[in-house]
């Protein structure tokens, strides 16, 4: 760890970039101006100067002293780059200056460690795409209302017995709109990150794996206290949300590199339970996306992991390190696994665990570490189905997540050093706007009922084997999306998933004729560009529900980057420790 200043004080490590108007050269410095870091949190310092002439040099100083060890490169004839990896700062306010070939000045601050440890363990649940309106739709389905007085029959587990709650706003480094990669990275590092970037700053090189990195909460906890780290997701294993906590790349699609970093990086999670195996198996294996012979199923066991591939194997496992892959790609949706159960959809993956099974086994495994742990559990399929406007599959995956939250809350009753957090990475433009009388459907617009005609839902009248409402009530809800392509609406759930659009043979997309030919389906004109084939993320705020010690650090209106610092504060993290 390279400490480049001994100034002591408080808060934020914002680094860097104010370019003097008088300078012809353009100076960019990362971390960006105003970034906030923990004292001792490691990052890569990067200075890029463009528009220089031959022979020009830049001088980089921090707090008036030259920054030693900078590696100089020239990516083009008129550029200079200076890089220093593995930097950290002492607590306090700092000033960085670039002079010579271009001039830039910026200030930065590093946040002092929190002395009092409140939570030894953190379980962070992330519903991918689960904005406030998605939570509300799930609550209407799971609980409903008492028709005799109009009072709610209850709340979801994630909404009940709260210690605190907050509303979270999102943005990326390069847009007010976000994707899962940069939002999960904001939670993991406390930084604003480019769309599609995973826990890195920008740079001017083509290689997506050489960007300046910033240390994640998982890496800090592993480095400073030997804590256990767990990553669980119903999405494929190298998807953006789990990857943000243990991998670094400018391009979230570098799946093989992400898989490698799980085992070769600094976070080295003790528990990895995912959907897809296609990035962990050699290129010769059916379904593999790798371009080499790496076989992490075999190699992980040499590193001490117990490997499991079914629910039965998972629940029998008793290991210190656990690696599980339960599908070739994403998990099947909860509805497909439990209520529709089409064998052609499920295929060979007939023994997939529920999210609450993976949560339980992850907790059991990580509990063996006396130094505490950080566990991230993602309901990844919420987003995967809200994109193609299949709100039923998305919302029922929220109900599966809620059951996992219930398990964590029950565990917390006998483990008071556990902080449980439930939030999302970003939202979708979903809205419950009416009731729907399924006796008149499917696809019948006259079955959409508003105001007093909507009455109350009847989802709770019939439950599946897990006690979760069936998707075919007499009276349901009508749900729509604000940002959509052209597609055909039916309002009701279909037993087999269908994409809302198909290629129009050119550069755009058209409504899927298989959907448009269904009974009662009608055409809806979209409002997104014609080269967009599905719904998109929205800028809507997100919920955050907190339970247990440290919950008071999550309250009110919060920027998503603040979650990192609140987690660190709740755990008493001291990133200056080696």
CATH label of the domain that carries residue 321: 3.40.720.10
C-alpha to C-alpha distances, 341 to 440, 467, 472, nearest whole angstrom: 25, 16, 15
Helix, strand, or coil (residue 448): strand
Report which of 46, 101, 106 is spatially closest to residue 79, judged by C-alpha positions: 101
Residue 156 lies in a domain: yes
Which single residue is written with the structure tokens 């729907």?
436
Residue 471 lies in a domain: yes
> Which residues, at least 6 apart from 219, have a Cβ–Cβ distance to it below 8 Å?
42, 246, 265, 266, 267
Residue 532 lies in a domain: no
Task: Supply the range of the domain harboring residue 91.
Answer: 2-111
- 447 and 546 in a common domain: no
What CA–CA distance (Å, rounded) separates 90 from 39?
5
- 440 and 421 in a common domain: no
Residue 530 lies in a domain: no
Q: Which neighbouring-strand residues pair with 480?
A: 431
- 94 and 137 in a common domain: no
- 361 and 470 in a common domain: no
> Which residues, at least 6 apart from 467, have a Cβ–Cβ distance to it below 8 Å?
none
What CA–CA distance (Å, rounded) separates 336 from 252?
28
What CA–CA distance (Å, rounded) separates 35 from 14?
3
- 233 and 354 in a common domain: yes
Look at phi and psi of residue 520 and say left if phi exceeds 0, alpha if psi is from -120 to 50, else beta.
Answer: left
Is residue 47 within a helix (H) or strand (E), and if so which, with residue range? strand 43-50
CATH code where residue 38 lies: 2.60.40.10
Residue 298 lies in a domain: yes
- 480 and 397 in a common domain: no
Eight-state DSSP code of residue 473:
-
Residue 444 lies in a domain: yes
- 161 and 78 in a common domain: no
Cα dihedral value 404, 405, 411, 416, nearest 10: 160
What CA–CA distance (Å, rounded) separates 76 from 73?
9
Q: Which neighbouring-strand residues pair with 111?
A: 38
Helix, strand, or coil (residue 302): helix
pLDDT the model gives residue 578: 80
- 385 and 345 in a common domain: yes
pLDDT the model gives residue 33: 86
> Which residues, at least 6 apart from 249, have a Cβ–Cβ distance to it below 8 Å?
197, 198, 200, 208, 209, 211, 243, 257, 258
Q: How many domains does the chain have?
A: 3
Residue 25 lies in a domain: yes
Residue 382 lies in a domain: yes
- 509 and 381 in a common domain: no
What CA–CA distance (Å, rounded) separates 521 from 407?
40
- 302 and 244 in a common domain: yes
As to burial, measured by CB atoms within 10 angstroms (0-12 exposed, 13-18 middle, 19+ buried), residue 23 is middle
- pLDDT 10s digit of each residue in the chain, 578 long? 455 443 333 322 333 333 333 346 899 989 888 889 999 999 999 999 999 988 889 999 988 899 999 999 999 999 999 999 999 999 998 888 888 888 887 777 899 988 767 899 999 999 999 999 999 999 999 999 999 999 999 999 999 999 999 999 999 999 999 999 999 999 999 999 999 999 999 999 999 999 999 999 999 999 999 999 999 999 999 999 999 999 999 999 999 999 999 999 999 999 999 998 999 999 999 999 999 999 999 999 999 999 999 999 999 999 999 999 999 999 999 999 999 999 999 999 999 999 999 999 999 999 999 999 999 999 999 999 999 999 999 999 999 999 999 999 999 999 999 999 999 999 999 999 999 999 998 888 999 999 999 999 999 999 999 999 999 999 999 999 999 999 999 999 999 999 999 999 988 999 999 999 998 899 999 999 999 999 999 999 999 999 999 999 999 999 999 999 999 999 999 999 88
Report which of 121, 124, 107 is spatially closest to residue 11, judged by C-alpha positions: 107
- 435 and 419 in a common domain: no
- 446 and 408 in a common domain: no
């Amino acid at each position: 760890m390279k400490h480049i200043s001994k100034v002591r004080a408080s808060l934020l490590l914002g680094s860097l970039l104010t370019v003097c108007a008088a300078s012809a050269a353009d100076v960019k410095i990362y971390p960006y101006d105003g970034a906030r870091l923990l004292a001792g949190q490691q990052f890569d310092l990067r200075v890029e100067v463009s528009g220089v002439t031959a022979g020009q040099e830049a001088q980089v100083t921090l707090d008036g002293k030259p920054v030693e060890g900078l590696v100089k490169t020239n990516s083009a004839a008129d550029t200079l780059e200076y890089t220093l990896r593995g930097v950290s700062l002492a607590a306090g306010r700092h000033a960085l200056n670039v002079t010579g070939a271009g001039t830039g000045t910026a200030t930065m601050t590093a946040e002092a460690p929190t002395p009092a440890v409140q939570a030894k363990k953190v379980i962070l649940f992330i519903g991918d795409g689960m904005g406030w309106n998605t939570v509300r739709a799930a609550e209407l389905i799971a609980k409903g209302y008492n028709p005799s007085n109009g009072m709610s029959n209850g709340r979801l587990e994630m909404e009940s017995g709260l210690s605190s709650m907050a509303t979270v706003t999102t943005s990326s480094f390069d847009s007010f709109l976000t994707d899962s990669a940069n939002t999960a990275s904001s939670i993991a590092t406390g930084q604003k990150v480019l769309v599609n970037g995973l826990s890195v700053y920008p740079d001017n090189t083509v290689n997506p794996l050489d960007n300046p990195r910033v240390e994640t909460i998982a890496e800090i906890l592993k480095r400073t206290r030997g804590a256990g780290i767990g990553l669980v997701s119903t999405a494929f294993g190298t998807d953006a949300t789990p990857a943000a906590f243990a991998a670094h790349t400018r391009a979230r699609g570098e799946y093989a590199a992400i898989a490698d970093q799980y085992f070769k990086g600094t976070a080295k999670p003790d528990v990895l339970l995912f959907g897809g195996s296609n990035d962990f198996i050699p290129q010769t294996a059916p379904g593999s996306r790798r371009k080499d012979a790496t076989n992490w199923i075999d190699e992980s066991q040499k590193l001490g992991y117990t490997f499991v591939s079914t629910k039965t194997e998972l629940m029998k496992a008793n290991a210190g390190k656990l690696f599980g892959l339960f599908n070739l790609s994403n998990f099947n949706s909860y509805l497909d696994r439990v209520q529709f159960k089409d064998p052609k959809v499920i295929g060979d993956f007939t023994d997939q665990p529920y999210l609450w099974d993976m949560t339980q086994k992850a907790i059991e495994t990580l509990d063996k570490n006396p130094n505490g742990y950080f566990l991230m559990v993602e309901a990844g399929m919420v987003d995967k189905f809200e994109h193609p406007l299949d709100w039923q599959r998305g919302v029922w995956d929220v109900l599966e997540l809620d059951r996992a939250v219930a398990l964590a809350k029950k565990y917390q009753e006998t483990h008071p050093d556990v902080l449980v957090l439930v939030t999302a990475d970003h939202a979708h433009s979903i809205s419950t706007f009416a009731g729907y009388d399924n006796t008149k459907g499917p696809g019948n617009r006259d079955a959409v009922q508003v105001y007093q005609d909507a009455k109350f839902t009847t989802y709770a009248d019939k439950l599946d084997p897990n006690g979760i409402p069936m998707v075919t009530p007499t009276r349901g809800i009508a749900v729509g999306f604000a940002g959509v392509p052209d597609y055909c609406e039916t309002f009701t759930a279909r037993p087999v998933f269908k994409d809302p659009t198909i290629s129009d043979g050119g550069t755009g997309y058209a409504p899927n004729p298989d959907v448009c030919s269904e009974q009662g389906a009608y055409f809806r004109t979209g409002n997104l560009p014609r080269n967009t084939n599905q719904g998109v993320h929205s800028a809507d705020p997100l919920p955050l529900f907190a339970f247990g010690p440290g919950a008071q650090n999550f309250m009110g209106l919060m920027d998503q980057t603040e979650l990192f610092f609140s987690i660190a504060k709740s755990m008493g993290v001291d990133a200056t420790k080696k």
